[in-house]
Amino acid sequence: MGFFNRKKDNEKENMDFPTRQEFNSLNRLVNTHQEFLNNIYIFHEFEESSFTVEMRKLSYELMTFFNKVCEKHNLQYWLDYGTLLGAVRHGGFIPWDDDLDVGMLRRDYLKLVDIFQDEIDNNGLVNVDCAFKIDKHDRVSQRWFQFNFRHSNFKGKFIGIDVFPHDFIDRDLEGFEEKFYQARADFFNKRTEGLNIHEAYDFLQNELGLSLDETEFYIPAVEDVRGSMNIYKFSILRTDNLLPLQKLPFGPLELPVPSNWDDYLRHVYGNRYMEIPKKIRDHGRLNRYRKQENIMEMLREANEMFHEANVNFE
């Protein structure tokens, strides 16, 4: 053990760390780039390329179909994560975003899981599927529910909607976060062992005191992207900041958002969410699309299929 410690110490001694002056200079450069992006994306409007127009049209058709299904079955949902941020900050998509995120309360989420495949089949959609996301790190754990359009000539998801469940809490909040992480690990183990989503939720309900009925507080569910080792921090949120839902423009659509979307976004992205961040996350799909042969033809065909399904939706 001592050998390895000495080795690490020697490695540290040989590393070149920037001086305070160099660090400050680099930080000023990053701040300049951030301010430049803010000036571009917040204070100016740009004409979209024909490629981007078709991409957005397909996304809006996809979202329209999802919205029609939810209205038909009386399911509540709201724009979540980057899609909500895009609606508030840009009036539509974040310019570099390439998918759609929605949040849903567990009581509606469980119904959606049961009925969505039938709606896909009954409305004549092809190359469209719905399934639980498989965690890329272990290729086994089943995460949130996804609605995806795939193309035979394109590897992976072409475009889709991520549906993130949220749970009402019906228990004392003291020590809840620690219990949450333990229950989360057990939940994924049980899903791996073959429990369906309803059975796995029954386990969570008992372990965490969750409720399908409205309570004072709710949480992003264990399948979500918040919490330890995830992208965003764990949060216990007030239900009266979520419900009743209101609507905001998202491109040509008017879609549900949390009643206090400002508080919601601050919990996810911090107080400066209206600024373009120094570090931008994207999925890399937009560049992959552009390199795809016959991409415009593929997009137009998909748009026509979804548009027809939306016009004739029953």
24 and 66 fall within a common domain: no
23 and 59 fall within a common domain: no
20 and 160 fall within a common domain: no
26 and 60 fall within a common domain: no
> What integer pLDDT is reported at residue 36 of this predicted model?
64
> What integer pLDDT is reported at residue 35 of this predicted model?
72
161 and 18 fall within a common domain: no
112 and 23 fall within a common domain: no
100 and 11 fall within a common domain: no
Q: Which H or E element spans position 102?
A: strand 100-105
68 and 125 fall within a common domain: yes
> What integer pLDDT is reported at residue 69 of this predicted model?
98
Q: Is residue 165 part of a domain?
A: yes
Six token digits for residue 54? 């078709």
At residue 63, the 3 state secondary structure works out as: helix
Spell out a b/e string for 57-74, using b for 16 or more CB atoms within 10 Å of the CB, else e: bbbbbbbbbbbbbbeeee
> What integer pLDDT is reported at residue 1 of this predicted model?
42
159 and 301 fall within a common domain: yes
With 0.75 as the threshold, say if the pTM is over it.
yes
Distance of CA 197 to the CA centre of its chain: 19
Q: Is residue 290 part of a domain?
A: yes
The total number of structural domains that make up the chain: 2
> What integer pLDDT is reported at residue 140 of this predicted model?
62
**Residue numbers in the chain where pLDDT is lower than 70:** 1-16, 23-24, 27, 29-34, 36, 38, 41-42, 136-140, 156-157, 228-230, 278-287, 289-290
25 and 119 fall within a common domain: no
Q: Is residue 38 part of a domain?
A: no
Q: Is residue 139 part of a domain?
A: yes
DSSP codes of every residue in 196-255: -HHHHHHHHHHHHTEESS--SEEEE-TTSSBSTTSSB----EEGGGTSS-EEEEETTEEE
> What integer pLDDT is reported at residue 7 of this predicted model?
45
Q: Are the CB atoms for 144 and 134 separated by under 8 Å?
A: no
Name the burial class of residue 138, with classes exposed (0-12), middle (13-18) and buried (19+) by CB atoms within 10 angstroms of its CB. Answer: exposed
236 and 262 fall within a common domain: yes
277/135 Cα distance (integer angstroms): 26
Q: Is residue 56 part of a domain?
A: yes
264 and 217 fall within a common domain: yes
157/149 Cα distance (integer angstroms): 6
Q: Are the CB atoms for 101 and 161 separated by under 8 Å?
A: yes
pLDDT tens-digit readout, 192-247:
888 999 999 999 999 999 999 999 999 999 999 887 666 788 889 999 999 999 99
Q: Is residue 207 part of a domain?
A: yes
Q: Is residue 39 part of a domain?
A: no
Q: Is the dihedral of CA 293, 295, 296, 302 positive or negative?
A: positive
> What integer pLDDT is reported at residue 151 of this predicted model?
76
Q: Is residue 42 part of a domain?
A: no
Q: Cβ–Cβ contacts within 10 Å for residue 176, how many? A: 17
Domain that holds residue 237: 50-311
